[in-house]
Structure 1
Amino acid sequence: MITSIIIMILSGIALYLYTRSLLENEIEEELYSNKDRVERLLEKNPDLVGIPPIMMAEKTEIPQDNELIDTLIYDPLQDEIELFKQLSGTKNINGQQYKITVRAMVIESEDILFAIVFTFMVIIFLGFIFLFYLNKSRNEKLWRPFFINLNKLKEFSVKADKPLNFEESEILEFHELNREMESLTAKIQTDYRNLRQFTEDVSHEMQTPLAIMQAKIETLINDQKINESQYEQLSSLQGDIQRLKQLNKRLILLAKIDNNQFTAKETISINEIIQQVIENFRELIQTRIIFVENSKISVVMDKTLAVILFNNLLANAVKHNVDNHAVEVIIEGNNCSIINDGNVALKQPESIFERFYKESKKADSTGLGLSIVKKICDYYRFGPSYSFRTSTETDTAIKTQRELTSQGQHIFSVDFNK
């Protein structure tokens, strides 16, 4: 558009100047021609006076060279002053000097410019409209397969069983791109299925030897006469096997979530799920758990994953609590927070939900509990977060109620509204 406008303006100016030059030359030629005609008529008729104001002839005694000028003359027919080109000069005819004046009306420059610009604008506008709709229809047909394939690519999932088939295109580059994308997506799906199968097979096959190892260790501990050092080593080995089994189960859980195997959806009450999880914890631990319900939350999700979500959050709070202080669970609006006491904030809170990341030195921590929380939240588009509140920021009433003596509180929250 910019280039077309610039070309149109320059072409209009050039055409205007060229046309004006042609008109002036034509008018001058016409004036000289008319002057010659008058001179010939005067040779035959010395009393000719012309046709004012176009042609005039008058006797004079003073010779004058030809003079070409512009002049304004009132035109009674148009009732306005018009611009004329005037040629005047003397000629000796049959011994008598005649001053001959011929005039021609000049077309106004503004009219010429307006005609040229208007014509150009009409031509450019009509050409633009024609090319716009022509190119639009051609481009729609040309790019339709591309946008169809782009939408298919946006909806592509490595978990899909069917290969991705693209729309055929007559354009060679699009055709080659489609073939390469089909090959690439098929390879990604195959690699994903192989990796998923490998993970499932390894996790499944590990269960049996781990169970056998644990059973043999229990047999050694119960049936054989072993000393205290051997007992401690066997107990440590048994603990390592137990942690390995937990790690294996959690990796299987992560793989199932990634593989979209939790498809059951029902409306569940988060309040009831938390109450159920708390009751189970109270049967196993001595830590006091305070449950504050300021609102009711209902979501659509798999009930099993909801239980796992709060099991991991509460287990994390109890495991990393200080001096067996009370753990607090608060539901406010669409947000659920699990709070436990702590002396120092995490060094890298942005990494707390990553797999195998842990700042705790406790041996029974696998580093997968919070990553499972993050995976479940991402699966249902909930908003998990972590923050640390120092003791100076904690309300005095809360300090008294919970006997807060630590340096602060770790707060893990889940926003179900997101």
Structure 2
Amino acid sequence: MSKKITLIKKTSKTFLLTGFVLAFLSSVALYFYTKYLLKNEVEEVLYSTEARVSDALKHQNIIYSLPPVTEVEIVKTLKNKLLKDTIIYDPSQDEMELFRELSTFKKINGANYKITVRNLVVESENFLFAIVLSNIIIFLLAFLFLFYFNTKRNLKLWKPFFMNLEQMKRFSLTSKKMLTLVESDVLEFSELKNEITLLTNKVKTDYENLKQFTENISHEIQTPLAIIQAKIDNLINEYDINDKQFSQVTSIQKDIQRLKQLNKKITILTKIDNNQFINIENVQLTVLINEKIKNFKEMQFTNILHSSKQELMVTMDSYLADILINNLISNAIKHGKKREEEILIYTTESTLTISNFGDTALVNPESLFLRFYRESKAAQSTGLGLAIVKKICDFYGFTLSYDYKEQKHVFSIHFK
């Protein structure tokens, strides 16, 4: 993924790049165009001088050669005119100079003449570079001024957008504070602000409705289940029932308990999805694990061993921490190879590992943390325990993993 940069830097980078390219291209174009004009001007002077020399020869005026500027000599044959650059020693400057040279051959008053006129080019080149350099300096100064003005203008122009963006970053469904966005005189920013306001209000309304629905449905399910449970208890206590009827009633009671657990777990998942667990505190997981092990041992699960290298402390909701540990231990107990086989829990400063024996590896380990997925068809399993563990880990950014090695199912959580 490419590195992200801010909008102002992005536009400024484009502006700078475009400006430098235009400055370079305009300077090159100006250089060659000015050079072309100066060259034409020099050649025009040469032709003008040659014409005056020819006219003087026609009128038999005395023409003296003035090397290296003008040279007139009589030749035997006439040739084509020649226009070229040449380097000649200039006695007046005592150095080699670049000249533009025009040589023409004409027959005047019965004599063949070679007329050579030259013009100094060096001064023209200096003049050319002076023009280009001045253009570059003026262009850069103007460009820097425009860049500074454009950046300041863009910062002011985009200020409402950035302020609203910061407001959106702090937006929370669980917060009662209203979202206050900044108005802008830019039509698009104003429309964006209105759409964001409508969207966030709709999202908060839907969230509150869903939250209320979850709470209502949970309460409505618990009430009839409690009534059914009470009626069954009355049935058992007030009437004589045979063994078959007692077995059926007991089965109904188990199903009611399972429905209660299912309703409770679905409610927990929904609350996590809705970000309703906002109480954050430091939880001593090492102490919590020991308390859970003590409770399970009171229920005759004496095969749970805990080894701690360092104290494990995690910042999270204490209620979710209790559910996390309880579900992991319950899962290990339910799916252990034998009741007498040891369930091992190992904690460090930042990790928790729990393992239980198993005959074979899971058939579909990639589906292990999906809701309602059950590797075995055990009646007591709702298929939500590990899904809740996964949801809690994702909620706090913990890393949950599963592995099967040495005939053990191993679940690990890395808290940092």
User: TM-score category by the smaller chain?
Assistant: 0.7 to 0.9
Offset of residue 83 of structure 1:
2.6
| Among 143, 153, 162, the residue aligned to 1:147 | 162
Measure the CA separation in 2 of the matches of 1:9 and 1:269.
67
Measure the CA separation in 1 of the matches of 2:21 and 2:197.
46
| Among 306, 309, 314, the residue aligned to 2:324 | 309
Report SS of the residue matched to 1:367: coil
Counterpart mapping for 1:19-418 below 5 A: 19-38=34-53, 46-57=61-72, 60=74, 62=76, 64=78, 67-70=81-84, 71-84=86-99, 85-89=101-105, 92=108, 100-107=115-122, 114-115=129-130, 118-119=133-134, 121-324=136-339, 325-389=341-405, 391=406, 408-416=407-415, 418=416
User: In angstroms, what is the RMSD of aligned CA positions?
Assistant: 3.2
Measure the CA separation in 1 of the matches of 2:130 and 2:412.
74
8 A Cα contact 1:63 1:90, kept in partner: no
Which residue type is aligned with residue 371 of structure 1? Answer: A
Over 3 Å counting, the alpha-carbon distance change for 1:66 and 1:239 in structure 2 is closer
Over 3 Å counting, the alpha-carbon distance change for 1:295 and 1:63 in structure 2 is closer
Over 3 Å counting, the alpha-carbon distance change for 1:296 and 1:47 in structure 2 is same
Over 3 Å counting, the alpha-carbon distance change for 1:17 and 1:283 in structure 2 is closer
Offset of residue 110 of structure 1:
6.3
Offset of residue 359 of structure 1:
1.7
TM-score between the two structures when normalised by the length of structure 2: 0.83
Report SS of the residue matched to 2:369: coil
Q: Any idea what the Cα deviations from partners look like across 1:248-295, whole Å, max 9, x if unmatched?
A: 222333344445554444433222111111000000024411121222
Offset of residue 358 of structure 1:
1.9
Measure the CA separation in 1 of the matches of 2:254 and 2:149.
76
More displaced 10-residue stretch of structure 1: 191-200 or 153-162: 153-162
Measure the CA separation in 1 of the matches of 2:24 and 2:189.
39
Structure 2 gaps, min length 5:
1-15
Aligned residue-pair number = 398
Report SS of the residue matched to 1:225: coil
Structure 2 match to 1:403: none
8 A Cα contact 2:293 2:304, kept in partner: yes
Over 3 Å counting, the alpha-carbon distance change for 1:16 and 1:255 in structure 2 is closer
More displaced 10-residue stretch of structure 1: 249-258 or 184-193: 249-258
8 A Cα contact 2:35 2:128, kept in partner: no
Over 3 Å counting, the alpha-carbon distance change for 1:25 and 1:310 in structure 2 is closer
Structure 1 gaps, min length 5:
392-407
Structure 1 match to 2:7: none
